[in-house]
Structures are given as structure tokens and as C-alpha cells.
Amino acid sequence: MSISNNQIIDRLGSCNTLSWKAPSNIALIKYWGKKDFQIPANSSISMTLNNCYTNCIMEFIASDNFSVSLEFENKSDDSFLKKVTKHISRIAKDFPVLKSFSYTFKTSNTFPHSAGIASSASSMAAINLCLTELLVKLDEVPNEDFFRFASDHARQGSGSASRSLYGGFVDWGATSNDYGSVQDNIHEDFIDMGDAVLIVDSGVKEVSSSKGHQLMMSHPQREERFSAANAKTKKMIEILKDGDWNSFIPLLESEALELHGLMMSGTPWFILMKPETLALLDLFKKWRNENSVRAAFTLDAGPNIHLLYHKDERDRVLAFINEQAISHLENEQWIDDKMGMGPEKVIIQ
């Protein structure tokens, strides 16, 4: 049922701006391939980050002419604008009132864009938090279902965004294909885990994740991969609940290398790792073996390395970065991050 302009004014009052910040996440077990529209070919589980996030301000005015404008870090971004406009139009099939506004989005990241740190996840999560709050204010969505609705909508714009609507460890596809679900009863040895993001290359990836998902669906090993990844997700959830670092390390690292192996063994093949990525992995492995550190690496769909470590190992990991890894990094750049508690509403002054 449509809402009249008078009803919109009554429900929103003077509210014309909403703002959220949403975190990126790092997948421990990756989803790679889609069965249908934004439905994962395999389940995945991620850790929500704390310092890598997207800020989004959404300004809106009631209008008979639906329109969207967008700035990313104070610059126009036509490609992302088209994606967001199409996304809102898609959601509006279920919530027509969304086309009763003219929108202006202003977004910015605390980390390099398009370098394999799930920028689309945090961006789509932040945008959909704003849209969902608008729908709640318009009495279109019940407030008690806020984050589930936001996760479902964000998933339709970026699959991994479904996992950025919550804190801690979140699965997508193990519990539901429509939205992310928080894993409870995590062992204390994995709570507040650190994540040092080593920036090897902050440039735009040669092959986007969207294209990579498409290519995976014609990969000769796709069925074996999907079955194995589902089993890995279940195993990773067990490990996180048991606090078993001896099992966590090999599973996390083999999964990261398998992801990149799939990229290199498909048709056409592509490589997202850089020479410095391999040099750093070799350096890290030797250092860990010599020092027996509870730390492990993973890679998303890009060249940059995430070092995940037990909170008690922080001093040793930072020493490794500053004494051995720093010279291999782009402009000696790295991000000091950790497990995060999820999105935050930003109050507009």
C-alpha cells in the first residue's frame, strides 16, 4: 500500500538526514560463486572488523521524482552511483515508498578502496542501515527486525555485506542464505582477536570480486569446492567454539591459498597476489615457526594480508611487522585492527 506525501511528512517530521557507520569483515571461510541472484554457492563465516569501516550520510527529501546522487570521499563515483540507484529500485519493488524521495549519499572509508578489504561489504551495509532506518521511521519495517532486514537488503547489493551487519563471527549460508547470523558461544581465546592488515598494494584489483564470482561458476572444480567449503565452514565454527588454535591456523591458511588457487586454475585464470604478498607469507611462516606464535594469515580477493592473532600475542606480532615486514609494504602502510562489535548509528548534530 502506498503512502501519501502527508503521511510521509507526519511520520518523518523534520528528519531529513540519517547516518551510520558499518564495518568491513574478513572472511575466514570464503564464499566464491553464486547459485542465483545474490545466493551463495557455499556457506561462509567472517570476523567483523573494528577500525576498517565505511561512514555513510544519507540526506533525503520527499519528491515526486525519484533520484539518487552520491559522493565517495568527496568525489563523484558514477559506477557506484549506478549500483546504488539500481539497488534502491530493486528494494522498492517490496517497499514502493523508497521511490518517494530524492537521495544524496556521502560515503567514505577508513581503508583503501577496491584492494581486497571488502569495501563493498561495508559500503552496502552502511547504505542499507540508513535505508532500513528510514523504512522503520515510515512504519514499513518493524524495529525488532531491524538488523535482519538490513542484512537481507545489504546482501542483495553485496553478498559479503550480509555479514557486516553484526559484530563478532558471522556466517552467511550456514544458517540462512538471506541474511547473516551471529555465532554465539565463541571460546575466549578467539574473542578480541587482533587483525593486522598488511597493505601490499592499495590499487584497484585487476579482476573484481563480482567478476570472480561469475568465473567460479564455470570452474571445473566448482562442485568439489562448494561441498568442501560448506564442510570447512562447519569445521571453523567448531574450532571457534572449542578455542583450538592448532586447528585454526592450518584451516584458515589453506582456505586462503585455495581461494587464490581457484583464481589461478580457472579459465580465464588471473592472479591477484603480488610478489611482495608471497615474500611476506614466506617471511611470516618462518617467523611463526621459530617463535611458536598463535597467529595465522588469510587473504581476501586481493593482494593484502590479514594477520589474525590471539590478543595476548599483540606485542610479538607488532614487533614482527615493525622489524621484518615493514619494508615489504606499500609506503610502509598497515592497519591495526581487531574483532569489532558491529555497526554504529551516527548522531547528526
How many domains are there within the chain?
2
- Whether residues 256 and 319 fall in one domain: yes
Q: With a cut of 80, say whether residue 5 has pLDDT above it.
A: no
- Whether residues 139 and 264 fall in one domain: no
Mean pLDDT of 154-163: 96
- Whether residues 102 and 132 fall in one domain: yes
Question: What CATH number does the domain containing 275 carry?
Answer: 3.30.70.890
The rounded percent of the chain whose pLDDT value lies above 70 is: 98
Mean pLDDT of 145-157: 96
| Residue among 196, 186, 154 nearest 172 (CA) | 154
- Whether residues 138 and 216 fall in one domain: no
Mean pLDDT of 62-73: 94
Over residues 85-138, the pLDDT tens digits come to: 999 999 999 999 999 999 999 999 998 765 556 688 999 999 999 999 999 999
Cα 28 to Cα 140, 307, 325: the distances in Å are 35, 12, 22
- Whether residues 177 and 195 fall in one domain: no
Range of the domain at 77: 5-184+341-345
- Whether residues 49 and 169 fall in one domain: yes
- Whether residues 22 and 137 fall in one domain: yes
- Whether residues 238 and 145 fall in one domain: no
CB atoms within 10 A of CB 145: 13
Q: With a cut of 70, say whether residue 229 has pLDDT above it.
A: yes
Give exposure, 298-319, as e/b (b: 16+ Cβ within 10 Å). Answer: bbbbbbbbbbbbbeebbebbee
What local confidence, expressed as pLDDT, does residue 205 receive?
84
Over residues 249-291, the pLDDT tens digits come to: 999 999 999 999 999 999 999 999 999 999 999 999 999 999 9
- Whether residues 220 and 256 fall in one domain: yes
